[in-house]
Structure formats: C-alpha cells, structure tokens
A and B are shown apart, each in its own frame.
Chain A
Amino acid sequence: MKKLSPLKLSIIPLLMFGFGFALVPLYDIFCQVTGINGKYYQVADEASLRLVSAQGEKVVPLRLLADADSRDVWHFTPEKKLLEIQAGKMITTYYEITNDQDVEVTVQAVPSIAPGEWSEYLVKIECFCFNQQKIPPHSTVRLPLQVTLSSKAPEEVSHLSLSYRIYQSEPLGGTF
C-alpha cells in the first residue's frame, strides 16, 4: 500500500497560509472584473478619455456627499451638493476641508459610488482621493474633483451618488 507522507500533506497548510494572503488581491480583482461592490478603480487612461470625448446627450444628476464621523477633527463638505453630468463634458467641482487644529494633518479620502452596479459609468479624471492630502493648521483647503459620465452609460442610469469618507493617514499616535 502506498503510504501518505506527512511532509507532503504539510504542503496543503503551507499553501493555504499563502492563499489567505492571496485573497487580498483576489477580492479586489474579483470586484474589478465584475464591477460589483461600488469599489471601482477607474483612473482616466487614454482609452476612457477617448470614449468620453464622443459627444453624448444624456444628463444624469450626480449627488455629492461627505461622510462624517464623530471622531473627525476636521470639517469636510462638498461645495456643491448636486451636479448634472453629461457624457463628453468635464465637470470640475471642489470639496472643502478645514483643519482647526494646531498641527498639520495628512488625510486620505476613500470614494464610494452608489448604486454600485453603475459605478463604472462615473469617470474620475482628477480626484483628490488619488493622493494623500496635507492640510496645514488652521486653514481651509479646496480639494479639486473632475468627473464626467462615461459614454458607455446605458439609458437606465438615472442617478449617481459619489461620497467620500476622510481618514487620517498617520496613526493616531500614542497607542503603540
């Protein structure tokens, strides 16, 4: 009878340990491929720019939101709460962030688009969420955002919402 070697069997747990870490990119890839989850990583590349340069007719209302949290030490609001976007037309708008503290804070904005299944049709050309932002003490900074509607957007796309949550990028300090 052929014996099962324990060392060979140990390959399974070792591979599964690696698989646990592989899940990190795998989930992202899955979300990107299927476009579900509202977590869409579209950065304007040449192809999408060409697509949006085709003149479109459709106008879709875009609601801009800022998610607040009780722990926030800044004020963060969109300058305009409602915009109309149209395929082929760039819209530039701003969010405002105010830092009332005595120290500079570094923040990272994380976007979320709803409804999730239409998230791929909102194209961000320029967004403050692409980079970390440094907010000097006692100052207000205008954060630019440039968006357009993809010409691939089907008829049933009737509304979109773009919301941002701001996170402090450095550890809150002191704990560890």
Chain B
Amino acid sequence: MSQEGVLQGGGAVADDEHHHGPDKGILRWVYTTNHKDIGTMYLLLALGSLLIGGCMAFVIRAELFQPGLQLVDPNFFNQMTTMHGLIMVFGAIMPAFVGLANWLIPMMIGAPDMALPRINNWSFWLLPFAFTMLLSTFFMDGGAPNFGWTFYAPLSTTYAPPSVTFFIFAIHIMGISSVMGAVNVIVTIFNMRAPGMTFMKMPLFVWTWLITAFLLIAVMPVLAGVVTMMLMDIHFGASFFDAAGGGDPVLFQHVFWFFGHPEVYIMILPAFGIVSHIISTFSRKPLFGYTSMVFATSSIAILSFIVWAHHMFTVGIPLVGELFFMYSTMLIAVPTGVKVFNWVTTMFRGSMTFETPMLFSIAFVVLFTIGGLSGLMLAVAPADFQYHDTYFVVAHFHYVLVPGALFSILAAVYYWLPKWCGRMYNEALGKWHFWLSFIGVNLTFFPMHFVGLAGMPRRIPDYALQFADFNAIVSVGAVVFGLSQLLFIYNVWRTTLGQKGVKASDLVWDQPVGLEWTALPSPVPYHTFQTPPKVD
C-alpha cells in the first residue's frame, strides 16, 4: 500500500504542469473532479429523469383521459404513479438542485472548486447506478414497486412485489449520494469563502443551499433507516411494522414523514434562493429584506422538523396531536409570507423587464403562493379529513413542485446558461416555452383542485363519471406542458452544442449582483478563482 502511495506521489510531482482544460473523450466525464463538469452531469441526469418521469405521467394521464380502464391494468397504473413520484423527487428535482449547487456555489463564494472534489465525483456516479437499479424493477417478476412513492408499510413489506428489495437498495445508494453531496456543500461554504465574504454577505442561493444541506444530512439518514427497517421486516423476520410481531404500521408513517416533511423543503429552499437572485436582477433593485430572507429560510427549516404528522391527520392521532400539528404547520405560513412579501416588494417600483428567467420567476411567486395556500387548507385538521388522499392533495403538491421547484430550475438554467456557455439562448423560443408551460401547468393542475374537493381519490386508474370532463382537460394540459419542454431542450442544445445565439457579454444582464457575473468572463473558464477574489 505504502509503495503505491509513494508512486502516486512521485507521479504527481512529475505531472506538476497546470491543466487548463479538461481531458479528452468520454473518460473526462468518468474521472472529472471539476465542479462545472459534475454540475453539468447532474443537470443532464435530472433532465433524463424528467423525461422518463414525464413519460410515466403521460401514461397516467392517458389512462385517466376518460373513465373506465382503457390502456393499462390497475397494477401497472400503480407502478406508474409510484415510479413517477420516485423518479421526479429523487431523480429530477433533487439532482437538478445539486447540479446548480455544483456550478454556482464555488463561483458565488469565490472558491476554485468544491471542497471534496473526489467525493463529488463519487456522489454523482452513484446516481446512474441507483436509477438503473430502480428502473430495472420494471422487468422483474411481479413488476416495479406499486405501493405509492410514500411506500407505506405493510403495502411495501407484506404485500410488496419481490422487486421491493431493489427499490430499498436504490434508495440507500441515492441517500448516500445525497448525504455526501450535502457534506461537500457545507464544508465548501464553511471553509472556502473568499476573504471578506462573511456569512451575511453570501448570495441567497448559497444561503438557501447551506440550510438545505443541513436538512439533507439530518433526514436522509432517517430515510435510510426506515428502508433498512423494511428490509429487516421483509427478509430477516423483524416486525417493525408488523402488528403480529409487536410492531406498528403507523410507526412507518411517523418515521417516513419525519424524513418526508423536511424533504419537501429540501426541494423548495434552493428555489427560494434562485428566484431571489433573478427577481432582483430584472427589477434592477437590490433584494428587499436580505436578512429577513435568511432568517425566514432558517425558520422554515427548523419548523419542518415538528410538523410531520400533518400528513397523518386521519390515522387516528389524538386530538391534542391534531391541534399541535395543525398550529405548527400554519406557523410556517409566516416565514413563507415574509419571503413572498420580500419578492413582491423587490419588484415594486423596480425597472422591470420580462426576459424568460424573470417570467418563470414571477410565475413561481404567483403559482407557488397558490400551492402554499392549498397547503394551508390541508393544514386545517378537521377539513383535512375531507381532502385527505384526494386529487386536492395531488393538486397542492404539484403546484409547489412543478411551477414551484421545476420552474425555478428552468429559470436558473435560462439565467445562468449565458454565463456558463458564453452565448445567449433564443429569447423568442424561451418565451414560447414559458407561455406554453404556464398555460399547460395551470390547465393540468388547477382542475385537480375541483375534482379533489368533489371527492376523487388519488392513485386510482378509473373514476366516477362526474369527474370525466375535468380529467379530460387535465390530460390535455399535461400533453401541452410535457411537449413544451422539448422547446427547452432544443433551446439549450442549440445554445450549447449548436453554438448558435449571440455572444454573451461578461455581465450578461444589466447590473447583476454576484462574483460569478462581475469577476468572471463569459463563458467561464474551466478553472476559476485559483486565486481568491477580494470581497469588500
């Protein structure tokens, strides 16, 4: 072993020349420890997952276009809803934010790279294997997981298809990847800020990601714990969730949502950071209430640990529990309201222009607020007994995840792409993409509120006739929304690989704030900030 170490050390001395460009060929992507390369790979993985998960959504909406069973059998429908949720949450939204973190955090804090570049490479390369394993369950006996993305026991233990074991290991691998990624982000932000960049001078995207990373290291291990308990129940005769052996199926829901609720903030806090940057730039005003943004984000993160049972109002928790979780959940509306107020106030009397990233960000503020308000309705425990497990819940979380998290990711790509690749995307195509997405997303998810309130349950392949018209509208909206994402892919492709579009200036936009704009050229070189900038 020591011999090898000496040899490697010797090699490093002989090869002391600075690399100014990436290696050539496919192995560049396998070996790379460059935060920009890894960020790109994360974003591409997220895009791939978005397309796969989107195809599953198409299957779901095709089946629900009219009542009755037309295209798929109920078990396959359940596999579709389950895998759609898992792929979108763990494969699309989370990796997309990690990709943006990789690209942006070092450039925003004036660091040359992430603190742990090799861990970074490993965190990424675990994911393709995890998702290959997860998707391979479609070809196994008994089919893919069919118990819903929340995998409640005993559906996911006693009554699960045999492929559940592969699902468990896929979750383990994703969890390890997320935790390593989060540790990397925290260490980078703590140790590698440029001289003069104090915590309260950090850009908000960095702040929100720091808080997100703490949430990740706190709750991803709990998710790993709960799937490990499932594994023990299934294969080793334990009975964590089996009443016959002294366990309790409700325990599963408690432990799962102890992870699950912070998880939903993991998927939205970085979005808050992104839109704060974009709204400030295109309003040509500094962000209103920077400090209150930081504290609001932290409060949301802390509150997320004490609200989990609002997902379980109907399992029979005692009245005092219902009240506690109802009030603590409603409390989250306060810091969230502070944020929305700050965004609106930033725009107020600003010199606003409406480029594509700004359009997506304004839509984010409006539509995320709608999702937040339906969340407040769901927080009312006595009313939740009516809404629970209906399409109203589906409408709620899609409003916060699609025009919430996903729109912020699209906005971020449009906003920073000219800095990354040195060319402007096509603005007309961008606007088409925005308006089709905006119309499609509302057409898809708004009528779900109505059918949900009228009592249509979620996760069913067939439904009562009175829901037929709204479901047909929803399916049409889904096709509009889904296909309009192809415009985005084409736009990004022609700007990056296609080398089309006007060259971007170093600042790209009017007076943007942040080191990535003011201290670096467009496109950003492969290595940046090898000597740290001075921040005053």
Bound pair (A, B): yes
Is the beta-carbon distance between B254 and A27 smaller than 8 angstroms?
Answer: yes
In Å, the complex CA distance between A121 and B316 comes to: 20
A33 in the interface (beta carbon within 8 A):
no
- State the main secondary structure of chain A at its contact with B: mixed
Chain A residues in 8 Å Cβ range of B246: 108
Is the beta-carbon distance between A19 and B245 smaller than 8 angstroms?
Answer: no
B158 CB contact (under 8 Å) in A1, A3, A24, A172: A172
Is the beta-carbon distance between A21 and B162 smaller than 8 angstroms?
Answer: no
Is the beta-carbon distance between B186 and A9 smaller than 8 angstroms?
Answer: yes
A89 in the interface (beta carbon within 8 A):
no
In Å, the complex CA distance between A12 and B30 comes to: 29
A20 CB contact (under 8 Å) in B222, B242, B248: B222
Is the beta-carbon distance between A116 and B243 smaller than 8 angstroms?
Answer: no
Is the beta-carbon distance between B234 and A176 smaller than 8 angstroms?
Answer: yes
- Determine the residue in chain B with the shortest Cβ distance to A1: B191
- State the main secondary structure of chain B at its contact with A: helix
**What is the 8 Å Cβ interface bit string for chain A, positions 152-176, against chain B (1 contact, 0 not)?**
0000000000000101110010011
**What is the 8 Å Cβ interface bit string for chain A, positions 1-42, against chain B (1 contact, 0 not)?**
101111001101110111111011001000000001111000
A13 CB contact (under 8 Å) in B119, B221, B234, B242: B221
> Which of B32-40, B212-220, B422-430, B479-487 lies at the interface with chain A?
B212-220
Smallest Cβ distance from A169 to chain B, in angstroms? Answer: 5
B317 in the interface (beta carbon within 8 A):
yes
Highest count of chain A CB atoms <10 Å: which of B225, B246, B259: B225
**What is the 8 Å Cβ interface bit string for chain B, positions 220-231, against chain A (1 contact, 0 not)?**
111111100100
A100 in the interface (beta carbon within 8 A):
no
A167 CB contact (under 8 Å) in B116, B162, B240, B242: B242
Chain B residues in 8 Å Cβ range of A19: 221-222, 225
A20-B220 contact, Cβ under 8 Å, with A3-B191, A6-B183, A9-B186: no
Is the beta-carbon distance between A168 and B244 smaller than 8 angstroms?
Answer: yes
A110 in the interface (beta carbon within 8 A):
yes
Smallest Cβ distance from A141 to chain B, in angstroms? Answer: 17
Residues of chain A in range 79-99 having any CB-CB distance to chain B below 8 Å:
none
A: number of interface residues (CB 8 Å)? 35
In Å, the complex CA distance between A14 and B306 comes to: 21
B382 in the interface (beta carbon within 8 A):
no
Chain A residues in 8 Å Cβ range of B218: 12-13, 16
Residues of chain B in range 314-343 having any CB-CB distance to chain A below 8 Å:
316-318, 320-321
Is the beta-carbon distance between A13 and B183 smaller than 8 angstroms?
Answer: yes
B221 CB contact (under 8 Å) in A3, A16, A175: A16
Is the beta-carbon distance between A4 and B186 smaller than 8 angstroms?
Answer: yes
B367 in the interface (beta carbon within 8 A):
no
B31 in the interface (beta carbon within 8 A):
no
Please report A residues at the B interface, Cβ cutoff 8 Å: 1, 3-6, 9-10, 12-14, 16-21, 23-24, 27, 36-39, 107-108, 110, 116-117, 165, 167-169, 172, 175-176
Please report B residues at the A interface, Cβ cutoff 8 Å: 115-116, 119, 158, 162, 179, 183-184, 186-187, 190-191, 217-226, 229, 234-235, 240, 242-246, 248, 251, 254-255, 258-259, 316-318, 320-321
